[in-house]
Amino acid sequence: MNKTWNNKAWFMVLPVLLLVAFNAVIPLMTVVNYSVQETFGNNLFFFEGVKWFREVLHSDRFHDSLLRQFFFTGTILAIEIPLGVIIALAMPRQGFWVPVCLVLMALPLLVPWNVVGAMWNIFALPDIGLMGYSINALGIDFNFTRQPASAWFTVIIMDVWHWTSLVVLLAYAGLRSIPDAYYQAARIDSASRWAVFRYIQLPKMKRVLTIAVLLRFMDSFMIYTEPFVLTGGGPGNTTTILSIDLVKAALGEFNLGIAAAMSIIYFLMTLLVCWVFYSAMMRGEDE
Amino acid sequence: MARIEFDRIRHAYMADPKTEADYALKELSMTWEDGGAYALLGPSGCGKTTLLNIISGLLHPSGGSIRFDGKDVTTLSTEARNIAQVFQFPVIYDTMTVRENLAFPLKNRGVARDEISRRVDETLRIIDLEEKADRRARRLTADEKQKISLGRGLVRSDVNAILFDEPLTVIDPHMKWQLRSKLKELHQRFAFTMIYVTHDQTEALTFADKVVVMYEGEVVQTGTPDELFRKPKHTFVGYFIGSPGMNVLPCKVSGKTASIGGNKVRLPVGAPKDAKSLEVGIRPEFITLTGGRTGIPVSINRVEDIGRFRIVHADLAGKEIAATLPEGSEIPAEPRAVFDPANVNLYADSWLVEAKG
């Protein structure tokens, strides 16, 4: 076959190129640019090399918010993944209740982030919020605007409320794809309920659960709006996770260099964890 | 192994069956002999799998009772019935090795450890998977996976029966033959009761001592392959078994003579009085085409050459019939069809009319 060479065809790629440039490459490069420069206003910049990176990596503030970030992500994963699987297992496999359950499960996912934050803020208020008031009525002193423990509890339960559904829906899809013959074979082999879960359901859900963990990891690592609206990182700095700290540095204190260096470290971390996790899971798949 | 008896078993998937047609499996009483190799043959949706699931207890029948060696097991669960079943698509436990797969049913039943390893080793030898014993089961081919499914049944020495639900569906053609002979060999060696569901007649006929033909939720005939060939009890069996199927020609009957479009054919029996429709059934193998003066004149439509013989499709009094023509013989110029009188069957309302006494 004869191929026609026409370099004008490159113009066809231009729209995509522009789109990617404007929504990814240029913003990212701006951040890279900021991360190696210092400014004193008036749009005057001086090259500083890796100074900001060194500073960020050695700052206690960054270490603390990173630690809080891992605590948050770890906790919500430890709750949402098993809880999601349990709910998916309990959901009916057929009949009238299937669509009802699915719609109920999908509801929290449809609520915008800032609304979720505002909702839980009011819900958890000790004087007028139903949850806050009820907990105090049980004799437990609960005030998320003053007590770090209460604030953490509220942030985590909010995220669990908002995102467990995603895990449920993914796990449910995985469960539904298991042919009946597997369950029948398990009965013929006298497998216990636990054995059915361990040797049939869990292996068959592995792929979707990998995706669920990845999505929840990335989302929780980048989460900003909900905790910002709920606690604003407080009381003090006790719920200041990476993203909130980053915005504080960039827009609150106008430390562009520090904030940009933080962004890049933050970005690379997310990328690294996802890559390591994904390739580990996929290698297990091939063995 | 056990003798399995069905006593007026029937099953409907709907809650409140009213008419006969509501039953996926119509009332059935029969005995599956201990150590027999049965093939359950029929088109898709005829109730084969329903019947199989009733035996294994995955399904509880709407009515009737089922006994293993005289003991009523109708209400017993699958676990308690001690049945092995091989499914259409290979079911294996992905995360386990071949050995662990085979040990699984024993472990679940709390068999002692050294007993498990002894029996697993023995089973591995039987199904020829010794070399792959410690490989992950997921990585094996479809036929090897099916062998593991079978092995999980064989490893329990006390199973009452082994059921097969179209086990060769996903197997490559050349492996099908091997697996089939393996099954046959195992059956001869261990004489387990075996019920094999299929819609492939070659599979059923080569494999089983007794073939059970099902049609629309009903067992229409149980017999040896030869009986099914010579004396199909229902026109469906005639069509379904044989390639091509039996010729079924509407006729009128007076005494022991049938009249097909004015042509007379001698019958072994007379027609029952209350029959609504009467048909003559004759297999293509029992029709000879001659150029002589006897027989019914036919006009030839087309000839298929399938190697060992040719199949002639001809027009007989407005109905198409098929006849086999041995290799090397000529098609006569003015062909007439002669029916072998010993193999002409009469069907009243689709059921074979049998000679009395």
Q: Break chain B into its structural domains and give their ranges.
A: 4-235, 247-352
Residues of A in contact with B163 (CB under 8 A): none
Contact between A210 and A176 (Cβ < 8 Å): no
Nearest one of B94, B99, B139, B96 to B121, comparing CA atoms: B99
Q: Is A277 left (phi over 0), alpha (psi -120 to 50) or beta?
A: alpha
CA B199 to chain centre: 7
Distance CA A259, CA B155 (A): 65
- Mark the ranges of chain B whose per-residue pLDDT is less than 70: 1, 356-357
Q: State how many domains chain A has.
A: 1
A283 has a pLDDT exceeding 80: no
Distance CA B226, CA B214 (A): 17
End-to-end Cα, chain B, rounded Å: 36
For residue A87, the model assigns a pLDDT of 94
A165 has a pLDDT exceeding 90: yes
For residue A80, the model assigns a pLDDT of 94
- Check CB contact of A286 with chain B, cutoff 8 Å: no
CB atoms within 10 A of CB B157: 10
Q: Is B284 exposed, middle or buried (0-12, 13-18, 19+ CB in 10 A)?
A: buried
Asked if B152 lies within 8 A of A204 by C-beta distance, the reply is no
For residue B14, the model assigns a pLDDT of 80
For residue A83, the model assigns a pLDDT of 95
The H or E element spanning position B326 is: strand B319-326
Answer yes or no: is A1 within a domain: no
Query: What is the mean pLDDT of the segment spanning A87-115?
Result: 90
For residue A170, the model assigns a pLDDT of 93
Q: How confident is the model at residue A168 (pLDDT cuts 50, 70, 90)?
A: very high
Distance CA B251, CA B258 (A): 6
CA B306 to chain centre: 24
Alpha-carbon torsion A198, A201, A203, A206, what sign? negative
Residues of B in contact with A192 (CB under 8 A): 108
End-to-end Cα, chain A, rounded Å: 42
A88 has a pLDDT exceeding 90: yes
Answer yes or no: is A44 within a domain: no
CATH number of the domain within which A241 lies: 1.10.3720.10
CB atoms within 10 A of CB A81: 17
Distance CA B249, CA B278 (A): 9
Alpha-carbon torsion B63, B89, B103, A183, what sign? negative
Q: How confident is the model at residue A1 (pLDDT cuts 50, 70, 90)?
A: low
CATH 2.40.50.140 fits B247-352, yes or no: yes
Per DSSP, the three-state class of A7 is helix
Answer yes or no: is A145 within a domain: yes
Best interface-test mutation with B: which of A177, A178, A182, A189 has the largest number of B CBs within 10 A?
Answer: A189
Q: What is the pLDDT of residues A251-280, one digit of tens each?
A: 887 788 888 888 888 888 888 988 888 887
Contact between A250 and A139 (Cβ < 8 Å): no
Asked if A184 lies within 8 A of B78 by C-beta distance, the reply is yes
Angle, CA B131 vertex, CA B127 and CA B135 arms, to 5°: 100
Buried/exposed code over A117-148 (b: 16+ C-beta within 10 A; e: otherwise): bebbbebbbbeebebbeebeeeeeebbbbebe
- Check CB contact of A188 with chain B, cutoff 8 Å: yes
Residues of A in contact with B85 (CB under 8 A): 184-185, 188
Asked if B78 lies within 8 A of A287 by C-beta distance, the reply is no
Q: How confident is the model at residue A284 (pLDDT cuts 50, 70, 90)?
A: low
Across the A:B interface, residue pairs with CB atoms under 8 Å apart total: 55
CA separation, residue A178 to residues A81, A203, A287 (Å): 19, 10, 21
For residue A94, the model assigns a pLDDT of 83
Distance CA A282, CA B151 (A): 30
Q: What is the pLDDT of residues A132-155, one digit of tens each?
A: 888 888 888 888 888 888 888 999
A49 has a pLDDT exceeding 90: no
Q: Give every strand in the sheet of B299-305, ordered side by side.
A: B299-305, B309-316, B319-326
Answer yes or no: is A197 within a domain: yes
Q: DSSP per residue over B45-84, as a string?
A: TSSHHHHHHHHHTSS--SEEEEEETTEE-TT--HHHHT-E
A286 has a pLDDT exceeding 70: no
B4-235 and B247-352 share one fold: no
Distance CA B144, CA B322 (A): 41
Q: DSSP per residue over B250-318, as a string?
A: E-EEETTEEEETTEEEE-SSPPPTT-S-EEEEE-GGGEEEESSSSSEE-EEEEEEE-SSEEEEEEEETT
- Check CB contact of A191 with chain B, cutoff 8 Å: yes
For residue B132, the model assigns a pLDDT of 85
Q: Which residue of A has its CA nearest to B82?
A: A188
Least CB–CB distance from B91: residue in A181, A190, A195: A181
Least CB–CB distance from B108: residue in A184, A192, A287: A192
Q: How confident is the model at residue A79 (pLDDT cuts 50, 70, 90)?
A: very high
Contact between B55 and B66 (Cβ < 8 Å): yes
Per DSSP, the three-state class of B7 is strand
Strand blocks (E) in chain A? 37-39, 45-47
Residues of B in contact with A95 (CB under 8 A): none
CA B302 to chain centre: 31
Ramachandran angles phi, psi of B304, nearest 5°: -105, 130
Q: DSSP per residue over A95-112, as a string?
A: STHHHHHHHHHHHHHHS-
| Spatial CB neighbours of B261, under 8 Å, sequence gap ≥ 6 | B316, B317, B318, B319
Instruction: List the domain range (segments joined by +) for residue A84.
Output: 61-251+261-286
A50 has a pLDDT exceeding 70: yes
- Of 3.40.800.10, 3.40.50.300, 3.10.20.30, 3.30.565.40, the CATH number of B4-235 is 3.40.50.300
Buried/exposed code over A34-54 (b: 16+ C-beta within 10 A; e: otherwise): bbbbeeeeeeeeeebeebbbe
For residue A85, the model assigns a pLDDT of 94
Alpha-carbon torsion B96, B97, B98, B100, what sign? negative
> Using beta carbons and an 8 Å cutoff, which residues of B are at the interface with A?
53, 56, 58, 77-79, 83-85, 87-89, 91, 93-96, 104-105, 108-109, 136, 149, 152-153
